[in-house]
Amino acid sequence: MSGINETIVIAYTHGGNIETDVYEAIELRKSVRKYLNREVESDKLIRVLNAARLAPSASNRQEWRFVVVTDSWRRKELADASGRSFLAQAPVIIICCAATDHHIMTCSQLCYPIDTAIAIDHITLAAVAEGLGTCWIGAFNAEKTKKIAGIPPKIKIVELLALGYPVDPLKKEKARLPLDEIVYYEKWKI
């Protein structure tokens, strides 16, 4: 696959405690459905999109493509097409797409939904680091969404992602199964 090779040398000037930052972001991220009427600065937007760009993908295929929508009229249209009115309040809606050849891995899974989802998750965690909230939206009408954003028929829309400043502060609250219900060691536990 094509791709520019980049070598970035990072100098840790503040103790290099990068793990704490990652875990902190994972714990703080939550689905935000109420947004402030405040624009997202373009440098922040570029940084979170770059986090998506740096995601891993099968054979480095990088099939993900992102349409960033900030126009209020178009956001309202997208909200109507998804039936999620709160979407219109988010200052940014990212239409997360894949320009895909439907490549299937040896394990018989399609690459593009997995790869695009990883990139989206990078955005959600980077957003936390920027003080921003996100919400994945799987409930949307793909055909209407394509029309609104001029997305060609052969492109797949994987998810929508709302992005903006949250009304309520991010909190470390999670309704999740305990580890011993989801992790087995050595063999599947019946």
Ligand X SMILES: Cc1cc2nc3c(=O)[nH]c(=O)nc-3n(C[C@H](O)[C@H](O)[C@H](O)COP(=O)(O)O)c2cc1C
Which positions from 1 through 40 interact with ligand X, judged by CB under 6 A? 30-31, 33
136 binds ligand X (CB under 6 A): yes
Using the contact rule CB under 6 A, the part of the chain among 18-26, 57-65, 90-98, 133-141 near ligand X is 133-141
Report the residue number, 46 or 139, with the smaller CB distance to ligand X. Answer: 139
- State the Cα–Cα distance between residues 132 and 92, nearest whole angstrom: 11
> Which positions from 40 to 69 touch ligand X by CB under 6 A, shown as an x/- string?
------------------------------
Which positions from 82 through 121 interact with ligand X, judged by CB under 6 A? 84
Structure tokens, 124: 């959600």
Residues of this chain that bind ligand X (CB under 6 A): 30-31, 33, 84, 135-139, 159, 174
